[in-house]
Structures are given as C-alpha cells and as structure tokens.
Structure 1
Amino acid sequence: MPSAPSEQGKPIRVLLICDLPITAWGLAQLIGTRQPALELTGSVATVAEARAHLRGHGADVVLYDLDGANPLALIGELLPGFRGKVLAISSSRVSTLADEAVLAGANGLLCKSEPIEMLAKAIEKVRGGEFWVDRLATVRILETIARSKAQEDPAHEKLARLTRKERLAVAELVRDPRASTADIARRLDIGERTLRNHLTSIYAKLGVNSRVGLYDFGARHMPAGELGMER
C-alpha cells in the first residue's frame, strides 16, 4: 500500500548504495511501492558514486547496504557536506552492528529480517531526526562515547570515577562555595560525617587537597547541566 507524503507534502528522497544487483533491484522496487512518500533518486554501487550523485542530485536519506563490499568505515566519507541522514541496512543479526553503524556516522540500522513496512517507517524516522536503534543499543552507544571522551579528557576521566552522591557534593560546593559542611550535608540529606567521608574520597579521585582546589576543579570541569542535578 502506498504511503502518505511527508508532513511537508514532499517525498523523502532516497539514494540507495548497494553493490548486490538482485538486492538493489528488490530495494528499489520496494521503495517504488511507497510513493508518493518515498522517491528513489538513484541506486549506486559504491560510496564514490554516491558522493558524485549527492553533489549533483542530493538526497534526504542514504540507504547504505552493509552486506556487499561497502564497509562501515566508508559511511564517514558521505558525511562532509551532506545534510541528510544515513540508514544502514543488513542481514546480520550481530547485536553490536547497530552500535558500530551509529558510531561510524549512520542514524540507525535496519535488519533485513524486519517486516517490509519497517523500511519506510525507518526511513521516515531517521529523516525526522530520530535514531533507528533499540534501547539496549542506545545504552551501549552512549557508554562507548562516554568512555571515549574519558580517554581523551583526563579531567572527564577523573569526574567519571565519582559516585552520584560525590558528584552532587561537588555540584553543591560549586554552586555555593561559602556553604558550610553542615549546610551542604543538610541539602544532600546526609550526615556531616558521611559528607566528610565523601570529600576525602573526592579529593583522592580528583587529585585535589582542599575545598578551594575542589571548587576550582569543579568550576572548570563539571558539566554545566550537572549544577542542576536532582538529589
């Protein structure tokens, strides 16, 4: 059944990258059945051909088949100057493939074992700015990004060692450096002894030796959003 046009009334322009002739033909036919919502602007076999096509014709979504000779690593070559989205598609059931696709620059991964109607839905979702990955993949991707940032940023790595309560204590001190230990403990709903234990642990983890040093570290490196963390 044909799909309805997008909210703007214009079809989503799709460029297919697939070097497997039978698969490419089948996907092209499937996209054709979803007119007027989807419009196939072209079908190419390589990333180099795709870049040339995008320069001349553009596209809203690139459908990138991973089952042929085009590797994940080449997704990044599509991104410079391309304002659209990339949806990878594969027959693989390896759970971490979605993680690898997103980290390589794609906006999601659709498994070919999914029902046919999922293709149009996935294309529409990524075109709208969403990621086509499941919840577990999202968690793994965020953890991978966090670890990568920690390795690149020593201060971030130190902050990552803190427990949630310790981060809250640092945030309170940065927000109100003149607050007494008793005041901060009361705001965190913990005892003063517990707070002192937290501070001892925080000093060791961050490599500081005083509240002044802790304030300086927190003010320079604590993410601004954490200053409003809920207790």
Structure 2
Amino acid sequence: MSDGQMVHMGPVRVAVIAASSQVRASLQTLVEATPALELVGSAADAETLADCLAGSVPDVVVTDIEPDASDALKTLVEPGPPGLVLLIDDPDSDWILDVLPADATAILPRNAMPAEIVVSIEAVAAGLCVLSPDLLARLLAGRKPSRQMASGELFEALTLREIEVLAMLADGLGNKEIARQLDISDNTVKFHLASIFGKLGATNRTEAVMLGMRYGFVMV
C-alpha cells in the first residue's frame, strides 16, 4: 500500500448534501445499505451540514451539484472535506476545471449507478481521484509539450481525444454524431473543437482537417 493511501480501521464516515429531498434520501439509503460505509450526516446545503456535524469532519462528503453551481462548489471545497464525491449533470463541464479541488475527489454524472458511487466513495477515502476520461485528458493537456510546425512555429500537441474528434471531422461527422459515438455531450464536443482550432490555428472545420492532415494528426 502506498504511503499516500489512507487506512480506515472502521467504516468510511460519509456525509450527504443534496438540495432535492428525494436525491438526498436515495443517497442516504445507499450509504446506510453499504456495510463499509457509515452515514454521519445529511443536509440540503453545506452550511446546514456543518451545523449538523458540530465540528466533526466526515471522511467523504457526497454532494449533488446543481447545473453551473460553481459558487456553491467553491464554498464547499474551501477549506474542504478530506474527500469529495460530486454528482453533476455534465462531469465534463468547463467550469469544473476552475474549481476542481486538489484533494481526493470523484466527479460522476448524476445518473451514475449505485455501485459506481460506492466504489468512488471508497476510492476517495483511500486518497484517490475518480475522473472521466475527457476531464482527465483536459487536465493533462496543459502539461503536454509543444510541437513544431513545418514553418518553425510552435503549437500545443493535441490530446488523444482531440485527435479522435479531428478524425471524425475528416470523416464528415457533425457535432451530434461525434458526441453520440464518443458518448460525450454536445458541449464537450464544442470544447474539443475550440481547443483543436486554437492549437492548430484553424478558423473553421475544413481548415482544421487540412492542418491535421499536414501535421500528421489525420491519416489519409
């Protein structure tokens, strides 16, 4: 076991935050039905939960985040619990990158299966992060070295997902078809396209494909 991994001698202490009473009840039931977990508190918002816990800090907080609730998330993660499991409509939303906590975190879609939520809670309690492939690729993209064009001008390398999107552009697929094939949202496709255009210096889809072919990202 790595030194950074947390060891729990007993059940993982879990608190739940959800504005919807139905969602809150569902999450409470899930936690209570799992022997490895212990429910220590539940509330509609972070402030109420803090009052309920009376200074006690749970191992993991599971929270159902409303769309575009970046301000609420910032409040929740500062100073933040030891671990955080976020359930949001679009786990690949752009704003999540701006408020992503540095500590152990899981970011899951709201329709995640109960088993996925339980596994994520346990992973976060062990000091790990659980992210979607898209979000992970976008976080890593900033660390990739630049490549050099034939003209000598430097440009940032495309991620594997961006190369996939670019190849589908070359095949003539539209945004909705790309989203369906990659099982991502239309907004995420738009994000990838904007990133591709910016990295290649393209102004439209056709130019992006042509530049992708020129620099070896698209095979013909």
TM class, shorter-chain normalised?
0.5 to 0.7
The answer to whether residue 109 in structure 2 is matched with residue 114 in structure 1 is no
Displacement after TM superposition at 1:100 (Å): 3.6
Query: Any idea what the Cα deviations from partners look like across 1:79-125, whole Å, max 9, x if unmatched?
Result: 344451111013x2x3523x643541352212232322111101111
CA 1:103–1:87: 2 relative to 1, 3 Å:
farther
Counterpart code for 1:128 = A
Query: Any idea what the Cα deviations from partners look like across 1:190-210, whole Å, max 9, x if unmatched?
Result: xxxxxxxxxxxxxxxxxxxxx
The answer to whether residue 85 in structure 2 is matched with residue 87 in structure 1 is yes
In structure 1, distance between residues paired with 2:112 and 2:96: 17
Q: Mind listing any 5+ residue stretches in structure 1 that lack a counterpart?
A: 1-5, 148-159, 167-231
Contact 1:103 / 1:141 at 8 angstroms: preserved in 2?
no
CA 1:85–1:113: 2 relative to 1, 3 Å:
same
In structure 1, distance between residues paired with 2:127 and 2:98: 16
In structure 2, distance between residues paired with 1:95 and 1:25: 22
Counterpart code for 1:44 = A
Contact 1:19 / 1:45 at 8 angstroms: preserved in 2?
yes
Counterpart code for 1:20 = S
Contact 2:24 / 2:42 at 8 angstroms: preserved in 1?
yes
Q: Hey, which bits of structure 1, 4+ residues long, moved more than 4 A?
A: 160-163
In structure 2, distance between residues paired with 1:121 and 1:140: 23
RMSD: 3.1
Q: Could you state the TM-score of these two structures normalised by the residue count of structure 1?
A: 0.52
The answer to whether residue 38 in structure 2 is matched with residue 42 in structure 1 is no
Q: Which structure features the higher share of strand residues? A: 2
> Larger C-alpha radius of gyration, 1 or 2?
1
Report the identity percentage. Answer: 20
In structure 2, distance between residues paired with 1:29 and 1:86: 18
In structure 2, distance between residues paired with 1:102 and 1:131: 14
Q: Give SS of 2:120's match.
A: helix
Q: Mind listing any 5+ residue stretches in structure 2 that lack a counterpart?
A: 1-5, 153-220
Q: 2:100 aligns with which of 99, 102, 105?
A: 105
CA 1:77–1:112: 2 relative to 1, 3 Å:
closer
Displacement after TM superposition at 1:62 (Å): 1.0
Tell me the equivalent position of 1:178. none
Tell me the equivalent position of 2:92. 96
Tell me the equivalent position of 1:142. 140
Tell me the equivalent position of 1:75. 73
Counterpart code for 1:57 = S
Tell me the equivalent position of 2:62. 63
In structure 2, distance between residues paired with 1:39 and 1:13: 5
Counterpart code for 2:136 = T
CA 1:138–1:54: 2 relative to 1, 3 Å:
farther
